[in-house]
Amino acid sequence: MFLKIPPPIFVVIALLAMYGCKLFLPLWQFKTLWIIAIPLIIITVTIGFLSILALAKADTTISPFTPEKTARLVTRGIYQYSRNPMYLSLLLLLITAVFISGALSSVFVVIAFVLVVNHYQIKPEEKTLMHLFGDEYHHYCLHVRRWL
């Protein structure tokens, strides 16, 4: 993997950058929208939990640094809707932070997160999974989207 920062740590860095946006780039300020944030928190936690549970049930790795240790391709449960539900839950966490912070300028950080995770984490993982599972993974990619 090219990205040597664990994705959850990258999210913490992104959250700090979002706070910086609120302080130093206070464009488009608004009040905290708890009516949106609370359901997003519930969805985020649920997706993250179901992601880890599905991988644990399949007895395969959850490490973003060792996709080559993937024992089997998981296509059931939450993975029938998203190829990367763990990253999706991290993205939703950042989107939730936008609604909590009240700084629309922090959306720039969310966009940067998607671009970086796609390029440095997901694409290398996909290449490894294609090598490991070939046509089965290709078929899965044709039917299930990368994010949602």
In a domain, 91, yes or no: yes
pTM to 2 decimal places:
0.93
Task: Between 27 and 10, name the one with better pLDDT.
Answer: 10
In a domain, 1, yes or no: no
In a domain, 28, yes or no: no
In a domain, 52, yes or no: yes
- Print the domain residue range for 131: 11-20+33-61+70-143
Averaged pLDDT for residues 14-25:
94
Q: What residues contact 99, with CB distance under 8 A and at least 6 apart?
A: 32, 33, 34, 36, 37, 40
In a domain, 2, yes or no: no
- Dihedral angle at the C-alpha atoms of 74, 51, 57, 123, nearest 10 degrees? 40
State the pLDDT confidence band at 3, using cuts at 50, 70 and 90. low
Domain count, the chain: 1
CA 140/CA 65 separation, integer angstroms: 22
In a domain, 56, yes or no: yes
In a domain, 109, yes or no: yes
